[in-house]
Chain A
Amino acid sequence: MKPTEHQPRRGPAEDSSWPEQLTARVVEPGDAPALHGYDVQRDLAAHYRFGEVVLVALAGEPPSEVAGRAFELAMTFASVITIAEAPTHAASLARLCGATPSGVLATGMLTLVEQVRAELEAHAPLLHWLDEPSADAPTCARAKHVGDRAGAKNLADALTRIGFSCRAPLPDPSVAALVLAVLHSVGLCRIDQLHAALCIARLAPLAAEAMASGAGTLRDYPLTLPPFQYEEPPA
């Protein structure tokens, strides 16, 4: 039966009761917004660096000076993402195809969250070990090559200089593993916290590299890198 002016259509949305408000649990809106209860404008902005505020957001509590510096060091080491990697490659290619800044960033960010997901899945044994350390650290945490080992030593030296040590020391770690160990030690123990932190760390370099690509120079793009071979599917 077609509804009339006096009999509007009815359905589950009309005939059930629903809350009238959204629930916020982290950011208190208003003229003096707060993050986990801390006044953003008059407290956090006055007493904490931006990197530390990121950690407040993700962990829920302000870090000590040393933990804040360690987090920033880990985030700096985690921020390295080059055009050889799919997120920046995809974002740069979008730029090359003439995408708007929002199109470039959307392409890069969607690929970035996938990159980080895959990385965290590959490090699942390490994340489990960080929760419950034992004698043998997982092999996925080991340095992969000489440059990786040197990078991890650079991070370890920087952490030593500020007086920070991880809860569970890793033998011969990769940069990625040591970054995760530091993030875990400063309170980012859950997958969703680590996922967010690594995406935040890489977003700025990704955006900068992609935006530096010119728009509309398709012939300058290495179309066959890597090569593809078309194969007829079986009949």
Chain B
Amino acid sequence: MKPTALPPLSTRVGHAGWGDNQFCGRSVLRDLAGRASWIDLLALALGRQPLRPDDNQLLEDVAASAMAADPRIWPLKIARLASSYGGTLIPLSAAHAWFEGAPNSPWTAGACAELLVGLAVELGERVDEPAALQQALTRRGLDAGKLPGFGIAVRPEDERVVAVAESRRRRGHPPGKFFRLAESVAAMLQPPRPLNIYGAFAAVSLDLGFAPEQIGTLTTVLISVSVVANVVEGAAQAPPVLQRLPNDRVLYQGPERRPSPRALSTRRA
């Protein structure tokens, strides 16, 4: 029997040729090797053109500012737990597997970008008017509760966002429309929820022309260095204490000990 005919899947990502490969519309040999930066490749991978050198630098600055690699920080502890048996790449996958859709992960930058774009579209020319912004936030019910890209655990402000602002100041790179909008939103929120690093990624990336659906992935990749560092050190240490904590470090709060219905009926019989 003739096998089912399958329609071809289109791809813009790559083609393996004889003597040269294509990557996102570029010849690796002619266009990329020795010419493209790592961020250029990332931009191409996300479906857009390479950035201008200044913009490349800005993204690198934000990525550098975002380094908070303390292994005690919740997401990085996952990297440490997964790598505690000495492996590297499966732990790296595990450390990223939960990001998609999780509010406390870099993926949330995409949700923040959608929020900022929605506000910008709604406000139009009035994007810099505080009263209009306040009305827009209230209308959307965003002035209370959790907002992607805003709020920071344990500390009053996100030192990584401070570092972003400082690096911009040093390079004389003024904030763009979306960064100003993000700062205005943060200034209005009560109770206070300062812009966090994922919100900063969202705003900077939008100002550089990335689309919201590209920004979750972009932020994840750029911030992954802190995960890599923890997985590498965690695998090298493979500490038994992370593989299994002592039982007395676990507080059991489930149901009390009880016999199952079949155990009870066996006893009665």
Contact = CB atoms under 8 A, between A and B. Distances in A.
Nearest to A113: B97
B47 interface: yes
B260 A47 contact: yes
Contacts, number: 108
Given A16-B154, A24-B252, A47 B266 contact: yes
A230 B14 contact: yes
B10 A44 contact: no
Contacts of B249: 20-22
Contacts of B209: none
A132 interface: no
B257 A228 contact: no
A231 B10 contact: yes
B155 A12 contact: yes
A30 B247 contact: yes
B255 interface: yes
B9 A43 contact: no
Nearest to A26: B254
Interface residues of A, number: 41
A82 to B, nearest CB: 15
A206 to B, nearest CB: 16
A169 B93 CA distance: 41
A132 to B, nearest CB: 26
Interface stretch (A32-40, A183-191, A194-202): A32-40
A28 interface: yes
Given A43-B263, A44-B260, A110-B93, A22 B250 contact: yes
B18 to A, nearest CB: 14
Contacts of B260: 38, 43-44, 47-48, 62
Contacts of A16: 154
A39 B256 CA distance: 11
Interface string A50-79: 000000000010100000000000000000
A13 interface: yes
Given A227-B6, A227-B9, A230-B12, 15 more contacts: A12-B155, A20-B249, A24-B252, A28-B252, A28-B254, A37-B255, A38-B259, A102-B87, A110-B93, A225-B6, A227-B8, A228-B9, A229-B8, A229-B10, A230-B22
Cβ-closest 4 pairs across A and B: A37-B255, A47-B262, A230-B15, A233-B25
